[in-house]
Amino acid sequence: MNLIYFTILIPLISFLILAFIGRRLDRGNLAVIGISAIGLVCLLSVFITIDFYNNIQPDSMLVYTRYLWRWFSVNDFSIAISLLLDGLSLTFLLIVAFIGFLVYLFAIGYMSKNESYIFFAYGNLLIASMLVLILADNLFVMLIGWEGVSLCSYLLIGFHHKQLKSSYAAVRTFIVMHIGDIFLLIGLFLIYGELHTLNIKAVIALATDRLAIDSEIIYWITLMLFLGAIGKSAQLPLHIWLTDSSSAPMPALTLIHSASVMLAGVYLVMRLNGLFVMSNDVLWIIGIVASLTLIFSACSALVQNDIKRVIAYASLSQICYVFLAISVQAWNEGLIYLINYTVFSALLFLASASMIQACDGERNIQKMGAKIRAYPFIYFCFVMAGASFSVVPWLTASFYTKGDILWATFMKGRLGFSAIGLVGILLSTLFVFRLIFILFHNRHRQTSPKTTKVSRAIYVPLSILVILSLGVFNSFSLPTEGFLPVSVLNQDGLFSFQLLLAAVTILGILTTYILYAGKNNEITEIAGSPLGKALTQLWYSGWRTEWIYHVLFVAPYLFAAKMVQKDPINVWLSVIPQIIRKMNIRIAKLENGHLRWYITSIVAGALFILLLLVFV
């Protein structure tokens, strides 16, 4: 465990090498440098995990702190660079390392030389930033990793920066993420103002001792931290960078959604769970935001035609279940589901990337498509990912992990969250099998899509993800005892609840088959009705949230910018000199050299003064 800092150092060094000399390296050396870094991180993670388990004592929790150096000290405020390893950070370390490694393996067979050198460079910087965020034992140091993740998101989304659309998407992502960062900074200021420390362990301990449950200060601290978290995890209303992320290449998009950025907000909330359990109001807000985001994203995924947007919305809808779990304090269930989510979402992203490559870069699913016998393994990957999204009963890990979360909401009396979760499963089944049926079972496609061969190198990471999606990790117990609050739920009635889940999934699959596997007459009629047109346009536009933002923020900003363009303050300040200048011109005209005018002026002035003396 004392070598844990190498997990950050290695990808950072690899980034520097690729950034300075990557352009001059050939494809083989690029692959070696790029993938060896994340491979070494994986290997170190395995050794660290073995060492961690060997040092766990029965009925105790292990917390390992690796002190590196003191960064700076100002009066009583001191920041040390130390790395914290416990059950929670170890779990996230393994997720980032292994999913990142599989994405890199896929990228070797997917990207060109020029693309892969930039992807490996930015990707390694993102991995290093994410690991700083995960392993920091201090909120100030965590903030550095947090900002590094924002920067790397900007770089990866602006990957094709010569295209104006990609540049705009990257800039907008950077701005939206930093709006969330402002709330996070306010939360950190509040924590330091109350507790005078930013050390994570000390913050949790002092908050428990000094702050009252559901007090005003704990409400504002946790609310600000949650608003910071939703900027990274793309929850409403800071979700608009999600569609912008589709500008990134598919491996980069997978890395953002399944192994880094989307997980950052979840990690922040889980790491500071000791604060969040003290505010029931904020936990309630988390549940409401997750429910709204779930419905919003699932409906939007149902009507999109760009495959990147479909899977981006699909991924967002699935991570909402983690926040639903947090809202009812089912922390362990949320973490187990998160592991499951990273696997099946990465599988869907990479299978979609393979399909885009097979269709010669086409992204419109109405124009894409292939025969199953031409790409049987890609089809199998889609089916396995679809089964996990739709919680196919008793065969997929997500059936148990997602079911446990909804069972927890049901047992905690949050029936509204349970109902929305079930609706989310139905919508997930609809959008994921709609995608599969349109791509592989559309027998009425008018034109035959152009298809090409795909690299066989991409089959290796896809095969591993397929195996992992079966829930292999579910047989291992997570080392989170003592770090995450444990809620013991009554299991009476769980089987009946699982039957309900199974019924919802089967209903969704049958409905999708009827609507999309045939001639689509029903879909045409539904979409052509006035209500169907209105809903389709609403969902396709992302519930017109961008229009709302434009009206509320962009238009007033443009109006204000137009108003201040001529510097109105300067205009008002210049009024007085102009008045004086005009008066001076008129007075100067009085000096005309005419004697009669001077005498008349003197007499008039004398009369005026005399009248003043008489009447005033």
Q: What is the DSSP string of 376-438?
A: HHHHHHHHHHHHHHTT-TTTSHHHHHHHHHHHHHHHTT-HHHHHHHHHHHHHHHHHHHHHHHH
pLDDT band at 444, cuts 50/70/90? low
Query: Facing residues of 78 across strands?
Result: 73
Distance (Å, rounded) from C-alpha 33 to C-alpha 112?
A: 15
Residue that the structure tokens 């117990």 belong to = 477
pLDDT for residue 186 = 96
What's the whole-number average pLDDT of the chain? 88
Distance (Å, rounded) from C-alpha 124 to C-alpha 104?
A: 10
| Model confidence at 57: pLDDT above 80 | no
Token reading at 84: 């914290």
Top mean pLDDT of 69-73, 81-85, 182-186, 512-516 is at 182-186
- Average pLDDT value for residue range 427-449: 82
Give the DSSP H or E segment for 74: strand 64-74
Enumerate the H helices of 213-330 as residue ranges.
216-233, 241-244, 250-258, 261-271, 273-276, 280-303, 307-327
| Model confidence at 293: pLDDT above 80 | yes
- Average pLDDT value for residue range 103-125: 88
pLDDT band at 90, cuts 50/70/90? very high
- Average pLDDT value for residue range 129-136: 95
Name the 3-class secondary structure at 219: helix
Q: Report the half-sphere exposure of 142 (CA within 13 A, side-chain side).
A: 25
Count Cβ neighbours within 10 Å for each residue of 435-457 and write b for 16 or more, e otherwise. Answer: bbbbbbebeeeeeebebeebeee
Ramachandran bin of 509, using left for φ above 0, alpha for ψ from -120 to 50, beta for the remaining angles: alpha
| Model confidence at 392: pLDDT above 80 | yes
Residue 8 CB partners (closer than 8 Å, separation 6+): 83, 128, 131, 132, 135
| Model confidence at 113: pLDDT above 70 | yes
| Model confidence at 312: pLDDT above 70 | yes
pLDDT for residue 445 = 66
Q: Bigger pLDDT: 262 or 568?
A: 262
436 close to 530: Cβ distance less than 8 angstroms: no
Distance (Å, rounded) from C-alpha 464 to C-alpha 444?
A: 34
Q: What is the dihedral of CA 458, 348, 355, 305, to 10 degrees?
A: -160
Question: Of 390-399, 441-450, 557-566, which range is least confident?
Answer: 441-450
pLDDT for residue 447 = 63
Share of the chain above pLDDT 90, in %: 51
| Model confidence at 609: pLDDT above 80 | yes
138 close to 198: Cβ distance less than 8 angstroms: yes
pLDDT for residue 544 = 87
Predicted confidence (pLDDT) per residue in 570-598, tens digit: 777 778 888 888 888 888 877 777 888 88
277 close to 329: Cβ distance less than 8 angstroms: yes
Q: In angstroms, what is the C-alpha Rg of the chain?
A: 31
Token reading at 343: 């696997």
Q: Bigger pLDDT: 480 or 188?
A: 188
pLDDT for residue 297 = 94
Distance (Å, rounded) from C-alpha 317 to C-alpha 341?
A: 11
Name the 3-class secondary structure at 79: strand
Q: Burial, 402: exposed, middle or buried (Cβ in 10 Å; 0-12, 13-18, 19+)?
A: buried
pLDDT band at 499, cuts 50/70/90? very high
- Average pLDDT value for residue range 60-81: 82
pLDDT band at 144, cuts 50/70/90? very high
- Average pLDDT value for residue range 462-477: 81
157 close to 245: Cβ distance less than 8 angstroms: yes
| Model confidence at 522: pLDDT above 80 | no
Distance (Å, rounded) from C-alpha 176 to C-alpha 554?
A: 13
Question: Of 53-57, 89-93, 151-155, 263-267, which range is least confident?
Answer: 53-57
Distance (Å, rounded) from C-alpha 189 to C-alpha 213?
A: 20
Predicted confidence (pLDDT) per residue in 332-384, tens digit: 999 999 999 999 999 999 999 999 988 888 888 888 877 777 888 999 999 99
| Model confidence at 236: pLDDT above 80 | yes
| Model confidence at 615: pLDDT above 70 | yes
Residue 305 CB partners (closer than 8 Å, separation 6+): 364, 365, 366
Number of neighbours of residue 551 by Cβ within 10 angstroms:
11
| Model confidence at 448: pLDDT above 80 | no
Q: Bigger pLDDT: 63 or 273?
A: 273
Share of the chain above pLDDT 70, in %: 96
Question: Of 59-63, 312-316, 379-383, 448-452, which range is least confident?
Answer: 448-452
146 close to 183: Cβ distance less than 8 angstroms: no
pLDDT for residue 61 = 75
260 close to 149: Cβ distance less than 8 angstroms: yes
pLDDT band at 73, cuts 50/70/90? confident
| Model confidence at 320: pLDDT above 90 | yes
Nearest CA-CA partner of 205 in 301, 148, 272 = 272
pLDDT for residue 560 = 87
Question: Of 277-286, 406-415, 537-546, which range is least confident?
Answer: 537-546
236 close to 226: Cβ distance less than 8 angstroms: no
